[in-house]
Structure 1
Amino acid sequence: MRAVLPAAVLLTAPLLAACGSDDPSTSTDAGSAKGNRVGNINIGPEQDRVRAEKDERIAALVPKEVREAGVLRTGLSADAAPPLGFFATDDKTRIGSEIDLATLVADTLGLELDGQIVSWENLFVGLDSGKFDAVFSNVTVTEERKDKYDFATYRLDNLAFEAKKGSGWKVDGPEDVAGKTIAVSSGTNQEKILVDWSERNEKAGREPVSIKYFQKDTDYYLALQSGRIDGYLGPNPTVAYHVESAGQSEVIGTLSGAGGDLQGKIAATTKKDSGLVDAYAAALDRVIADGSYAKVLKRWGLSGEAIEKSEINPEGLPRP
C-alpha cells in the first residue's frame, strides 16, 4: 500500500557545511530503533548532511533559465522506503539517501534544492510537464524510459536475499534457492527473476522455489524470524536497512536488479533534451572524486552500490 504524504517539502541548500520502490511500507519501527538512531543510522531530524562546494565550471553547464532561477526543482517519491526516502522521527523532516545525493548535486551546481514529494507516477508527470528539473528517486534506467528521459547514473541497482542470521546459507545462483521458501513482492522485477530461477531449477531436475507473498514488510519479517520462510528477495537498499535496524537477519547474496548479465543502474532523471543531463553527470563525477558521495552512501549503508563514474544514458533494462 502506498502512503499519502504531503505534496511538497522545501529542502534548502545552504544548511550545514559538512549530505520506484517496491517496498510497501515506510515505517522505521521494524527494528531496534533507539531514540534518533536505527543501528548506526541517524533517523532524527538533525541530519548534519554531507555538503559539497559549488563548482563554477560545472555550474556553467546548467541551462541559463535554471541558473537564473537558482533552484533545482526535484521530484522525490512519496512511495520510497528507508533508507531511500522517509520521514525522520519528528514525522515532518524528509530524510534519506536520495535527498542527500540530490543535495550534493544541487550544491555542486550552485542551486537550492527544492525537493517536492509526490507519488511515483507523478514523478514522470512532473518531468513531462516541466514542473521538475530532475527526479532523484531510485529510478532504474530502462530502454523504454530512454525514449522520453535522459539519465545520469549515481548508484547500482541491486537486489538482495535476506535470511535469518546464522543460517549458513549463501545465494549465488538458481541452484542455491532450489527447494527453499522465499518471499517476494508481487508484480516486481525480483518476482520475475525468482520465478525464472524456479523454472530453471525444475528444468535442471532440481526442486522449484516455493514463492510466498506478503502485503506488508512486517509480515515477511515475522515469517522470516519464525521460520515460515527461508528468505526474502527485495531491493538491496531496503534489505540492507532492515538488516541494520533489526539485527536479526543478514544479507546472503546480491544480484543485479536487471537479472542476467546486465547490471541495472539507478540514475538522476530529466526530460529528454532538457540540457541538464551533462551537468548532473559532471556534478556526480565531482562529488565521487572528492569523497562526499562515498560518505553519503556509507551513512545509509549503501556503499556496496557505489559507482566509479556517472554514465549518461547507459544500456538499460530491456523493453518488455
Structure 2
Amino acid sequence: MRVSPLLLAVLTAAALTACAAEPVTTAPPPVVAGKKINLSPEQNRIRTQKVADIAAKVPKEIAADGKLTVGFSASGSPPLVSPATDDTTLIGVETDLAQLVSDVLGLEFTPQSSSWENLFLAAKSGKYEAVFSNVTVTEERKDTYDFATYRIDQLAWQVPDNSPIKAIKGPADIAGLRVSVGSGTNQEKILLDWDRQNRAAGRKPAEILYYEKYGDVLLALKSGRVQAYFGPNPNIAYNIAVSGGSRIAGTFSGAGPDLQGLIAAMTKKGNGLVEPLHEALNTIIRNGTYQQVLERWGLANEAIPESRVNPPGLPRQPAS
C-alpha cells in the first residue's frame, strides 16, 4: 500500500512523540559521609597555583617534557581511584591530589593506569615518575622507593550483614575462616602474619582467596564463598554507604598493631623527586586545597597535619 506524504508525516510525528514520552531514569549520585559523589568524567577538579621555588627542585630529566606521569591501579574502586561513568577517565581522591601536586610543580598531570603489581615495576623503572594509588609505607618498600605521605592508612574487615561474625579483633578471630585479601598488599602481609600466629598456636589456618577486582570480592561475600574481606577502609565504607548489604567488623592500622600506617606518593628511590613531592603536599595542606579534596570524597577523617618523607612503615615480615 502506498502511503501519502501527509500520512507519513503524521505517523512519523506520532512515533517521535511516543519516543519522547518514554521515561528517562538517571541514577542519583551516591552520598558518602553526607557528600554527593560526582562519578562523571566532568570532574571540575580543585586546582591550585604553581610554586616556582618548589618547581625548580624537580629533577631536570623529569621536568624536561613538562609532564608528571602518575601511575594508578586500574582495578581500584571509589572513592580512592576508579573509572568514571565513561569507563575511561580515572577519578577519585588519589587523582585529585595528584592533580594538585602537579599544579604546584608546574607540570601537566598525566595519569596512567595498570595492575597493582605493575605499579611497582613501572615506578622502579622510571616509567611512572610518581604513584598515587593508596600505597602504604613499608620498611621493605623503602629499600626500593621513596615516599612522601599524604593520608593515614586504615584497613577494615568487611562481612555480610547477616554474618554470625560479630567482630574481628585479632588473629584468633579469623582461624578457620574463608577470607579474601588483595595480592601484594600490606594487608596481605598482616593477614599472613595473623595466619602464622594461628598455626603456631595450634588454631585452624584460614583459607585465603584472592580476587583481582573488588567487585568479584563483593560477589563472593554475597554468595558465601568468602566469609570476610580485609581491605582499605575507604573502599569498604564507601561500598556500605552506597550499596548496603554488609558491615565493618573491625578496623586496623595499615602498619600493624604498634604504628599508625601512612599512605604516600611513591617514586623511584634516589631519583630526586621525593623532596619536591613532599613540599608540594605540604603546600596544598597549608593552602586548604588538600582538605577540600578529602572532604569532596568523604575522607576528611583521613587527613594528616603534614607530609613526611620516608617515615617508619609496616615492619618487615618474618620469612615463611
TM-score for both structures, normalised by structure 1: 0.74
- 1: CA distance between counterparts of 2:114 and 2:182? 23
Deviation, 1:191, is: 4.7
Within a 5 Å distance, the mapping from 1:187-198 to structure 2 comes to 187=183, 189-194=186-191, 196-197=193-194
Given the alignment of the two structures, is residue 284 of structure 1 paired with residue 284 of structure 2, yes or no?
no
2:125 maps to: 129
3-state SS, counterpart of residue 69 of structure 1: coil
1:257 maps to: 254
Could you tell which deviates more after superposition, 244-253 or 166-175? 166-175
1:37 maps to: 29
Could you tell which deviates more after superposition, 122-131 or 138-147? 122-131
Deviations 1:152-173 (A, max 9, x none): 1112222112244598945544
Is the CA contact (8 Å cut-off) linking 2:81 and 2:90 kept in structure 1?
yes
* Distance change >3 Å, CA 97–CA 105, structure 1 → 2: same
1:9 maps to: none
Deviation, 1:122, is: 3.5
Equivalent residue in structure 1 for 2:145, among 143, 149, 153: 149
- 2: CA distance between counterparts of 1:71 and 1:112? 4
Alignment-mate amino acid for residue 58 of structure 2: V
- 2: CA distance between counterparts of 1:214 and 1:137? 19
Alignment-mate amino acid for residue 280 of structure 1: L
* Distance change >3 Å, CA 212–CA 290, structure 1 → 2: same
Equivalent residue in structure 2 for 1:90, among 83, 86, 89: 86
Deviation, 1:255, is: 0.6
Structure with bigger gyration radius = 2
Could you tell which deviates more after superposition, 155-164 or 166-175? 166-175
Number of equivalenced pairs: 286
Equivalent residue in structure 2 for 1:117, among 100, 113, 119: 113
Deviation, 1:108, is: 1.3
Is the CA contact (8 Å cut-off) linking 1:182 and 1:233 kept in structure 2?
no
Alignment-mate amino acid for residue 258 of structure 2: D
Could you tell which deviates more after superposition, 308-317 or 122-131? 122-131
Deviation, 1:312, is: 0.4
Deviation, 1:301, is: 3.0
- 2: CA distance between counterparts of 1:77 and 1:84? 10
Deviation, 1:94, is: 1.7
1:7 maps to: none
Deviation, 1:195, is: 5.6
The structure richer in helix per residue is 2
* Distance change >3 Å, CA 243–CA 112, structure 1 → 2: same
3-state SS, counterpart of residue 312 of structure 1: coil
Deviations 1:263-314 (A, max 9, x none): 2222111222222111111111111122221222222233333221111011
* Distance change >3 Å, CA 172–CA 125, structure 1 → 2: closer
Deviation, 1:212, is: 6.1
Deviation, 1:136, is: 1.5
TM-score for both structures, normalised by structure 2: 0.74
1:247 maps to: 244
Is the CA contact (8 Å cut-off) linking 2:256 and 2:314 kept in structure 1?
no
- 2: CA distance between counterparts of 1:55 and 1:189? 34
Equivalent residue in structure 2 for 1:58, among 43, 54, 61: 54
2:233 maps to: 236
Unaligned runs of 5+ in 1: 1-32
Is the CA contact (8 Å cut-off) linking 1:180 and 1:230 kept in structure 2?
no
Given the alignment of the two structures, is residue 79 of structure 1 paired with residue 71 of structure 2, yes or no?
no
Across the aligned residues of Structure 1 and Structure 2, the Cα RMSD in angstroms comes to 3.3
Alignment-mate amino acid for residue 270 of structure 1: T
3-state SS, counterpart of residue 82 of structure 1: coil
Given the alignment of the two structures, is residue 319 of structure 1 paired with residue 299 of structure 2, yes or no?
no
- 2: CA distance between counterparts of 1:119 and 1:179? 30
